[in-house]
């Protein structure tokens, strides 16, 4: 079950998402053990790997256990999680760049409106050229992200059981 609620006032996010799932007592104990490890695990991928390493046959869905289906190895899941985290970081950086361009364009538009209403001033050519260069950088970065998306898809495809 997934629940989406309004974020706390001090949060940067507009919404918080909570995911609820049913786990056995034994699974909950293992999860608590991984969360309480000292020193703390350095990344989410390490925590996921540790949880997967601690899984047993009893944790498989009955149909999967009966059919003997192969599951993803811990290293494979860690590779997928790491690739997705890198992709998320890259998109967050792109969002920051696009936001900065938007702020710059809004400032230039505001200055242009003031000039149309008779306020003295000029719009510097360098500011317009800088916005153009920033847009080119964003387009280049978006191209790189498209290649990273293809890489993430190839990692996931390579890790799937055959």
Say what the pLDDT of residue 3 is.
52
- Map residue 162 onto helix, strand or coil: coil
Instruction: Give all strands (DSSP E) within the chain, no chain letters.
Output: 2-6, 15-19
Q: Which 8-state DSSP code applies to residue 57?
A: G
Say what the pLDDT of residue 66 is.
43
pLDDT tens, residue order, the chain (162 aa): 445 555 566 666 665 555 566 667 777 777 777 777 767 777 777 777 777 777 666 665 544 444 444 566 667 777 778 878 888 888 888 889 899 999 988 988 888 888 888 888 788 888 888 888 988 888 888 888 887 777 777 777 776 665
Say what the pLDDT of residue 30 is.
74
| CA 13/CA 8 separation, integer angstroms | 8
| CA 126/CA 34 separation, integer angstroms | 54
Task: Report which of 88, 22, 26 is spatially closest to residue 56, judged by C-alpha positions.
Answer: 26
| CA 71/CA 155 separation, integer angstroms | 16
Say what the pLDDT of residue 59 is.
61
Length of the chain, in residues: 162
Q: Report CA torsion sign: 101, 102, 103, 106.
A: positive
Say what the pLDDT of residue 65 is.
44
């Amino acid at each position: 079950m997934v629940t989406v609620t309004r974020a706390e006032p001090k949060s940067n996010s507009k919404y918080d998402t909570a995911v609820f799932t049913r786990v056995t007592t034994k699974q909950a104990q293992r999860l608590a053990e991984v969360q309480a490890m000292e020193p703390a695990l350095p990344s989410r991928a390490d925590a996921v790997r540790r949880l997967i390493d601690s899984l047993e046959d009893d944790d498989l869905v009955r149909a999967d256990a009966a059919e003997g289906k192969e599951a993803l190895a811990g290293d494979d899941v860690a590779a997928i999680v790491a690739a997705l985290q890198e992709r998320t970081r890259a998109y967050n950086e792109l969002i920051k760049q696009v936001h900065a361009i938007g702020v710059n364009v809004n400032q230039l538009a505001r200055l242009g409106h003031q000039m149309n209403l008779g306020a003295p001033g000029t719009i510097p050519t360098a500011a317009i050229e800088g916005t153009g260069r920033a847009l080119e950088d964003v387009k280049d970065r978006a191209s790189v992200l498209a290649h990273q998306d293809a890489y993430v898809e190839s990692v996931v495809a390579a890790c799937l059981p055959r």
